[in-house]
């Protein structure tokens, strides 16, 4: 059983820096991380492989991050058992089913029983993160479920539960193509923006969103939502993500970033010494560059929150 650690919860300030900006490292990957290990010649990553990777990333990067996003399976035990998080780095915990539901090839919202806001608090979490997938406007045949309505209802229940427990809710959305569909850039922009507007109605504390493709898409986000948002990296190349952050903040009023693989992905599969060297040089330099990018550009979450 993992060591129990109690951390103070002070709303979004728990995972933001002193200026109200989010510079959050994401290391909550589970199935994705196993695939990353497989891609570098470790086809059956062990619990120890997963635990060690998360410990290494958290140990190296947390001192320059306002928060770190971790899974409850390996990530939370890694930081709690090893006591590697400084008080300046808040802990977000993924409270979602890693195996998404399925309806005829489309993701269907499926809560993870027992992983509610109280449970996250019991692990020392200072914010709850839940991932959903949406495709607004998808056709609905008679007798079939409305997956978009189901997703918004699930998110509303999560937001309400978090509010009742006094812990911030962070809702991440990923759009998806319908079976057999290949999305154009315009369709991607529309889906990202429309999903954000639908989720905004539930009033989460923070939205974690994909880059809406263009400066125009970012402006649509800024005009369409009344809660703060942070842009996710989606594993894109580091230099590209710096551009994404700049546009998201300048045009979209983003309050920072939540970035994972763009910062640390090369560390997976390295031997311990190589990994430590990479994380404490290249990876930390990348994070510091992202932190510098948002200075004077990102909108403090307090100013991004509108009635």
Domain boundaries, the chain: 22-304
3-class SS of residue 55: helix
- β-pairing verdict for 101-103 and 106-108: antiparallel
* Contact (Cβ atoms closer than 8 angstroms) between residue 77 and residue 50: no
Q: Is residue 232 predicted with pLDDT exceeding 60?
A: yes
User: pLDDT (tens digit, 9 = 90+) per residue, 30-59?
Assistant: 999 999 999 999 999 999 999 999 999 999
CATH (one of 1.10.287.1080, 3.40.605.10, 3.30.390.30, 3.20.20.70) for 22-304? 3.20.20.70
User: What confidence tier does 1 reach under pLDDT thresholds 50, 70, 90?
Assistant: low
Torsion angle defined by CA atoms of residues 172, 226, 196 and 101, in that order, rounded to the nearest 10 degrees:
50
Q: Which long-range contacts (CB under 8 A, 24 or more apart) does 273-277 make?
A: 275/56, 276/56, 276/60
Taking residues 51-79, what's their average pLDDT?
A: 96
* Integer Cα distance of 253 and 120 in angstroms: 29
* Contact (Cβ atoms closer than 8 angstroms) between residue 61 and residue 264: yes
User: What confidence tier does 184 reach under pLDDT thresholds 50, 70, 90?
Assistant: very high
* Integer Cα distance of 175 and 192 in angstroms: 6
Give the CA radius of gyration of the chain. 18
Q: Is residue 216 predicted with pLDDT exceeding 90?
A: yes
């Amino acid at each position: 059983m993992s060591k129990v650690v109690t951390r103070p919860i002070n709303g979004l300030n728990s995972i933001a820096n002193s200026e109200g900006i989010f510079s959050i490292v994401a290391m909550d990957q589970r199935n994705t991380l196993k695939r990353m290990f497989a891609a570098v010649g470790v086809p059956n990553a062990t619990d120890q492989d997963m635990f060690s990777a998360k410990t290494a990333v958290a140990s190296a990067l947390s001192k320059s991050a306002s928060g770190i996003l971790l899974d409850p399976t390996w990530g939370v035990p890694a930081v709690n058992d090893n006591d590697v998080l400084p008080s300046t780095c808040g802990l977000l915990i993924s409270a979602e089913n890693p195996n998404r539901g399925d309806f005829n090839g489309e993701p269907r919202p499926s809560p993870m029983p027992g992983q509610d806001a109280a449970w996250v608090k019991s692990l020392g979490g200072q914010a709850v993160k839940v991932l959903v997938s949406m495709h607004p406007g998808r056709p609905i045949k008679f007798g079939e479920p409305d997956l978009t309505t189901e997703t918004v209802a699930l998110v509303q229940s999560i937001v309400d539960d978090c509010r009742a427990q006094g812990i911030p809710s962070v809702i991440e959305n990923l759009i998806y193509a319908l079976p057999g569909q290949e999305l154009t850039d315009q369709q991607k922009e529309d889906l990202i923006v429309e999903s954000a507007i639908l989720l905004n109605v539930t009033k989460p504390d923070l939205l974690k969103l994909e880059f809406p493709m263009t400066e125009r898409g970012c402006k649509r986000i800024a005009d369409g939502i009344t809660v703060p948002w942070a842009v996710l990296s989606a594993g894109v190349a580091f230099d590209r993500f710096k551009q994404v952050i700049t546009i998201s903040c300048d045009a979209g009023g983003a309050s920072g970033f939540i970035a994972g693989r763009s910062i640390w992905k090369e560390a997976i599969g390295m031997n311990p010494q190589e990994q430590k060297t990479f994380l404490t040089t290249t990876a930390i330099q990348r994070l510091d560059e992202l932190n510098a990018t948002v200075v004077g550009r990102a909108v403090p979450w307090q100013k991004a929150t509108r009635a």
